[in-house]
Amino acid sequence: MPDSNRHAESAWSYHDATRHSYASIRANPHSLDFANQPLPFKIYPTLAPSRLPGELRQTGVAALSAIAESVPFGTNSAPGLRSVAQLLYLSAGITRQRKYPGGEIYFRAAACTGALYEVELYLVCGDLADLQAGVYHFAAAEFGLRRLRAGDYRSVLVEATGSEPAITHAPLIIVCTCTYWRNAWKYQARTYRHFGWDNGTLLANLLSVAAALGLPARVVCGFVDATVNRLLDVDSQREVAFSLVALGHGSDPPPLCLREVSPLGLETVPLSRHEVDYPIMREMHAASSLQSPAEVATWHGRGSPTNLSPPDGPVVQLQPLSDAEMPRDPIEQVILRRGSSRQFARTPISMAQFSTILDRTTRGTPADFLDPIGSQLNQMYLIVHAVEGLDPGAYVFHRDSGAIECLKRGNFRDQAGYLGLEQQLPADAAVDVFFLAGLQPIFEQFGSRGYRAVQLEAGILGGKLYLAAYAQQLGATGLTFYDDEVIRFFSPHAAGKSAIFLVAVGNSVKQKHWLEPVAP
Ligand SMILES: Cc1cc2nc3c(=O)[nH]c(=O)nc-3n(C[C@H](O)[C@H](O)[C@H](O)COP(=O)(O)O)c2cc1C
């Protein structure tokens, strides 16, 4: 299927088939089969994990700085084992647990739809301090690493990414994969959208921790899928590489890997007694797969996406806190404090808190599909319910001028609850942030793979929103939505766009000790 990525029909078919509407939700007979619930972890029973160091380093870097900044590419640095442990724990480690009559839920550092944790992490590294070169799987349950291959395989990823410069010079590359069934058990075919969201919230944490540790980091979405999947030896009918993150920088490219990337044939514990397949997700994935380093190189050269046209309605200038004024709660503390709000109080947040959240979240994400850094595929549309000094209403955020444009004034709490799949959370929040994108220009620029990128970016921005809220003692939660109703609500401004993701922010109603903290 050469160059299938260029044709976006499959991405449109997938997107259209997985829209939520009032009618589609009511017509869906799906119910949760708890007896067949998938395991939340990937386990290789024949490989013993080596435990990672458990002590968290206090970087002292303010979360509001860590989410907004990145270490310039080219700064020489390599993580050692302790930094690796810190990166893994604060992005995908078990941070809290909750017992319930049927068992236990292990909550992880980043938010994830349904707490189903379909994202797995793998390390591909050269020799690092206290960690030998190899390909490793992060065993979240044991907080350890299982070595799948010994030796330096980074050049396989250099080739797979068409010699992407950050990958070429990275001492460590983290590969994020997504497992269909782990999430589809609950969300069925809509799971492919969740891959981007859930991988994205995880990456928001990972990028922030990397910045706090002084490591350059870059998200890479363009790679030859089959080569990466083969290196990890995943069964790509079930689990697929979704994003890579280059971490650190060394002057020399890795030595050419002369070993054969042979199948490993390692046993893994079945996730469930049986799995249900949703073929449109695999079709979506195949259609957005890149086949050769040459195709990847062209994909990388696509340039920056389109931006918003200048405001033509009333504009309110944001008033974010400066570095000197902002809360300085460190990133480690904020990640451990984070947990999705289960209920919001209908109390206002301040204009400074609101402005700081938007400002810090959108200072730029280093990624191969966002060139120059700071460009965005998603635009942020807002329903403001309770921000001091701001009329309640619908707005759109203009990042370039640090301002919001009013689209319509009014109290839209009921509509927001409806748009967020008839849930109470978006009705009670102080502000709902909707991520909307023009899919057509994105597909023209990036082919079907643009669909992965736009979902992933929304997840990263959403994850940063979470952290910006919790850094200021506020709460947040990701939410799902009625696709077309969202666009109708924000139209005519949003006409022609698609709803990608939603995050609500506000003052959480404190829950009574329903979660126990877990140390690494
Ligand atoms: C992309 C995304 C969508 C979510 N959608 C909803 C939702 O529609 N309703 C809800 O109550 N929680 C939603 N959540 C919150 C998750 O249920 C929550 O992240 C998960 O249970 C893990 O708990 P934690 O975030 O407190 O660690 C969503 C989270 C994410 C990341």
Weakest-pLDDT range from 173-187, 367-381, 486-500, 504-518? 504-518
Give the tens place of pLDDT for each residue, 46-98.
999 999 999 889 999 999 999 999 999 888 999 999 999 999 999 999 999 99
Distance 341 CA to ligand 1 centre (A): 9
Probe target for ligand 1 pocket from 186, 340, 456, with the most ligand atoms within 8 Å of CB: 340
Task: Please state the separation of Cα 451 from the chain's center in Å.
Answer: 14
Q: Which atom of ligand 1 is nearest to the CA of 112?
A: 31
**Residue with the two structure tokens 């989410």:** 67
Looking at the predicted structure, is the pLDDT value of residue 391 above 60?
yes
Distance 156 CA to ligand 1 centre (A): 35
20-29 — which CB contacts under 8 Å span 24+ positions?
20/190, 20/421, 20/480, 20/481, 20/482, 20/483, 21/482, 21/483, 21/484, 21/485, 22/482, 22/485, 25/421, 28/188
Answer whether 455 contacts ligand 1 (Cβ < 6 A): no
Q: Which helix (H) or strand (E) holds 100?
A: strand 94-100
Give the confidence band of 2 by pLDDT, cuts at 50, 70, 90: very low
Answer whether 113 contacts ligand 1 (Cβ < 6 A): yes
Distance 299 CA to ligand 1 centre (A): 32
Structure tokens at 391: 């009329």
Exposed/middle/buried for residue 511 (C-beta within 10 Å: 0-12, 13-18, 19+): exposed
Number of DSSP helices (H) and strands (E) in the chain, helices first: 18, 18
Distance 479 CA to ligand 1 centre (A): 6
Q: Note the pTM of the prediction, 2 decimals.
A: 0.98
**Cα(87)–Cα(72) distance, integer angstroms:** 18
Answer whether 477 contacts ligand 1 (Cβ < 6 A): yes
Looking at the predicted structure, is the pLDDT value of residue 163 above 70?
yes
**Cα(62)–Cα(469) distance, integer angstroms:** 13
Give the tens place of pLDDT for each residue, 97-127.
998 877 889 999 999 999 999 999 999 999 9
In the chain, % of residues over pLDDT 90: 88
Residue nearest atom 10 of ligand 1, based on CA coordinates: 479
Answer whether 112 contacts ligand 1 (Cβ < 6 A): yes
Quote the crossing angle between the two packed helices 439-446 and 9-17, to the nearest 10°: 150
Probe target for ligand 1 pocket from 25, 107, 112, with the most ligand atoms within 8 Å of CB: 112
Answer whether 201 contacts ligand 1 (Cβ < 6 A): yes
Work out the average pLDDT over 471-479. Answer: 98
Distance 380 CA to ligand 1 centre (A): 19
Answer whether 426 contacts ligand 1 (Cβ < 6 A): no
Q: Which atom of ligand 1 is nearest to the CA of 420?
A: 8
Q: So what's the pLDDT on residue 385?
A: 98
Distance 149 CA to ligand 1 centre (A): 34
Give the tens place of pLDDT for each residue, 166-202.
999 999 999 999 999 999 999 999 999 999 999 999 9
Residue nearest atom 6 of ligand 1, based on CA coordinates: 479
Residue 417 DSSP SS3: helix
The residue among 108, 54, 107, 100 whose CA lies nearest residue 81 is 54
Work out the average pLDDT over 142-151. Answer: 97
Distance 414 CA to ligand 1 centre (A): 21
Answer whether 91 contacts ligand 1 (Cβ < 6 A): no
Other residues' Cβ atoms within 10 Å of the Cβ of residue 122: 23
Give the tens place of pLDDT for each residue, 215-261.
999 999 999 999 999 999 999 999 999 999 999 999 899 998 777 89
